[in-house]
Amino acid sequence: MDITTSTLQLNTPDGKMETYEARPKDGGARSAIIVLMEAFGLNSHIKDVTGRIAREGYVAIAPDLYHREAERVVPYAELQKAIGIMNRLQDPKVMSDVGAVISHLKAQSYVKAGSIGVTGFCMGGRFTYLSAAHYNKDIKTAVSFYGGGIPMGNPSPLARTGEINCPIYLFFGLKDPLIPQDHVAQINKALTDQHKTFMMKVYPEAGHGFFCNERGSYHADSAKDAWEKFKSFFAQHLR
């Protein structure tokens, strides 16, 4: 499917936020998926994923959650620097950023009314979970890839599980050194105990970042399976 891409400047309480949008060229109102970035920023991989989602027939949009920072994209080799920038993010400010994206989508004639989903990777996977709770009247489907720190924060995204109204799918890697399996178990228990509609897949051979084909941790078989499940889940619950 042919797509068109553009870079937008959305208004937030802290100034303009660069946002990358990709959508099918053929017009008509489409469901939209917000793409929340890894700790490394709104880089080529996140833009590529946004384009892949658009080619499946969605409006896909990725905000730069580092728009308050001087350095907004960090190479994959500089993990500690990325973690340092990530740790300066504040959940309420990120939720205001997501809110700006939702407001933008609601105002577009090419976005189907009441049909917005969210996905994210790494820290973006955590913010996906939080967005599903925080914007539970707007987010209709959520898919989180190796979302680290979901049980962490005050309040943590996990503590807000009861607010989630939409179906959510979570992908993890068993060999992920950054996400303890205890965290995965806590998330499973919280979603189960609160009778949420969810699915979870833990890939036995995958580590952190297994979906990113630009990282050494890329695991092709797990990434391919997760992509197929991603497409099926959104097709079932968002369209």
Question: CA 70, CA 84: separation in Å to the nearest integer?
Answer: 13
Of residues 64, 176, 219, 237, which has the active-site annotation?
A: 176
CA distance linking residue 155 with residue 196, whole number of Å:
19
208 is catalytic: yes
Other C-beta atoms closer than 10 Å to the C-beta of 138 total 22
Given the residues 67, 122, 134, 212, select the one marked as catalytic.
122
Strands 111-121 and 139-145: parallel
Token representation of residue 168 = 């959510």
Of 92, 78, 162, nearest to 127 by C-alpha is 92
Beta bridge partners of 23: 4
Tokens of 189: 């228990």
Where is 113: in which H helix or E strand?
strand 111-121
Residue from 67, 208, 219, 237 carrying the catalytic annotation: 208
Question: Nearest-CA neighbor of 13 among 88, 118, 91, 99?
Answer: 99
Of all helices (H) and strands (E), which one includes residue 30? Answer: strand 30-36
Active site residues: 122, 176, 208
